[in-house]
Amino acid sequence: MRIVKLVKKAKKGSKEALLQLISEQQDAYYRLALSYMGNSHDAMDAMEDMIVSLYHSIPQLKKEESFYSWSKTILVNRCKKLLQQQNRVILMETTEENSETPINFSDDTNSFTQAEQRLDLKDMLSTLNASQQEAIELKYLHDLDLQTIADMTNVSIGTVKSRIFQGLKKMRDQFGGEWNG
């Protein structure tokens, strides 16, 4: 309810309300941008572009409660546009800097174990095609719902489900273990 009120204020031109909305999800925006851009500088550029775009287009937002999925879709589109401008691969890249992304695999605070888990995950994801890898990362690393992923990737929810299912199946077949899709 508070988010809806802030969005309504932002739609009326309140910069403070918009900044408050953005600051509440700042870490999630950064992790999402970093997973696409591969380095913190480009991720910050994408976030700046997103903020400018949000400021100009927030009056067009019809459902206030959809602000965060709408804004993350804008962020992903900005990332893809920046990558195209840089003539880079559109889908997520795995770089050393991505290893800075805080991924909470467990309550284990041992940084060595967490680093090892990240490397294992990168190895497993590298066996998938780019669209499966993107869908699984958006769902499980960024905790986005299927509709948001579908909006971000311009495909149907069925396609997103299929990509996740096929990707998890491929990883299960290759590495074994239990997966819940």
Both tokens assigned to 169: 């199946």
Residue 135's closest CA among 81, 70, 76, 64? 76
Mean pLDDT for each 10-residue chunk of the chain (181 residues)? Answer: 90 92 93 90 92 92 91 90 74 47 48 67 85 90 88 91 93 74 49
Give the DSSP letter string of 82-139.
Answer: HHHHTT--SS----TGGGGS----SS---HHHHHHHHHHHHHHHTTS-HHHHHHHIII
Distance of CA 75 to the CA centre of its chain: 8
For 101, 110, 117, 175, the CA distances from 105, given in Å and listed in that order, are 12, 11, 8, 18
With 0.85 as the threshold, say if the pTM is over it.
Answer: no
Find the Cα–Cα–Cα–Cα dihedral 54, 56, 62, 64, rounded to 10°.
Answer: 40
Question: What is the pLDDT, as a whole number, of residue 151?
Answer: 86
Question: What is the pLDDT, as a whole number, of residue 115?
Answer: 65
Question: What is the pLDDT, as a whole number, of residue 153?
Answer: 87
